[in-house]
A and B are shown apart, each in its own frame.
Chain A
Amino acid sequence: KAGVTQTPRYLIKTRGQQVTLSCSPISGHRSVSWYQQTPGQGLQFLFEYFSETQRNKGNFPGRFSGRQFSNSRSEMNVSTLELGDSALYLCASSVGWGRTEAFFGQGTRLTVV
């Protein structure tokens, strides 16, 4: 059974650009959550999608957005990139809504220069 797949694995972008990250959850999982991991702030919740609807949102600016498709795949977009957006972005997949185990992908390492 395939795990959570995140693409691309590495990205280098210039300040001011925008970027789109992709996450394919485990087959049959309908919930996808996104997290940002930095050395200074640790792991912080960005947002969660379930059945194509954003259900929760963390404390991040509106430059961070996402969506989920009917096949449960999710994309995250960051516009007007800032140096501080450099981080490991992790996607987690869960089978249902609430109280279910989270399975993480390998992450996308974004570097903003």
Chain B
Amino acid sequence: KQEVTQIPAALSVPEGENLVLNCSFTDSAIYNLQWFRQDPGKGLTSLLLIQSSQREQTSGRLNASLDKSSGRSTLYIAASQPGDSATYLCASGGNAGNMLTFGGGTRLMVKP
């Protein structure tokens, strides 16, 4: 059974700092890994999707990497802004359709 872990559970940084969020998974036989953002009481916003054949994906100030052999993915946020404050979730997709297994999330606060 796939287990996804995100450490730390919470992170507070000053504005402008570059930061890395970590995601680890126990079963390396994943088909893809997706990063989401969730604002309080809201739904999930898809940030980046990395297929198993890819090593990284980039969108604006965000860069996500995937290392299946070590069971890890990282989300790099450059030049953080207060508007980046949210909970970031990673989720692995396996061979069962579109079912995703989620980590517990990292709650990020960027202070002005």
Q: Which of A74-113 contact B (CB under 8 A)?
A: 88, 90, 92, 94, 97-107, 109
Contact B102 A92 (CB under 8 A): no
Contact B99 A104 (CB under 8 A): no
Contact A99 B43 (CB under 8 A): no
20 interchain pairs (CB within 8 A)?
A: A42-B104, A43-B91, A43-B100, A48-B97, A50-B97, A55-B97, A56-B96, A56-B97, A56-B99, A58-B99, A88-B41, A92-B98, A92-B100, A99-B98, A101-B34, A101-B46, A101-B49, A102-B34, A102-B46, A107-B43
**Hey, which chain A residues are within 8 Å of B99, CB to CB?**
33, 45, 48, 56, 58
| Distance of A64 from chain B, by nearest CB (Å) | 15
Interface of A is mostly: strand
**Hey, which chain A residues are within 8 Å of B93, CB to CB?**
98-99
Asked whether A31 is an interface residue with its Cβ less than 8 Å from the other chain, the reply is yes
| Distance of B40 from chain A, by nearest CB (Å) | 11
State the interface size on chain A (CB cutoff 8 A): 30
**Hey, which chain A residues are within 8 Å of B45, CB to CB?**
104
Asked whether B76 is an interface residue with its Cβ less than 8 Å from the other chain, the reply is no
| Distance of B96 from chain A, by nearest CB (Å) | 5
Chain A residues in the interface with B (C-beta under 8 A): 4, 6, 31, 33, 35, 42-45, 48, 50, 55-56, 58, 88, 90, 92, 94, 97-107, 109
Contact A107 B49 (CB under 8 A): no
Which of A43, A98, A105, A107 is within 8 Å of B98, CB to CB? Answer: A98
Closest to A3 in B: B43
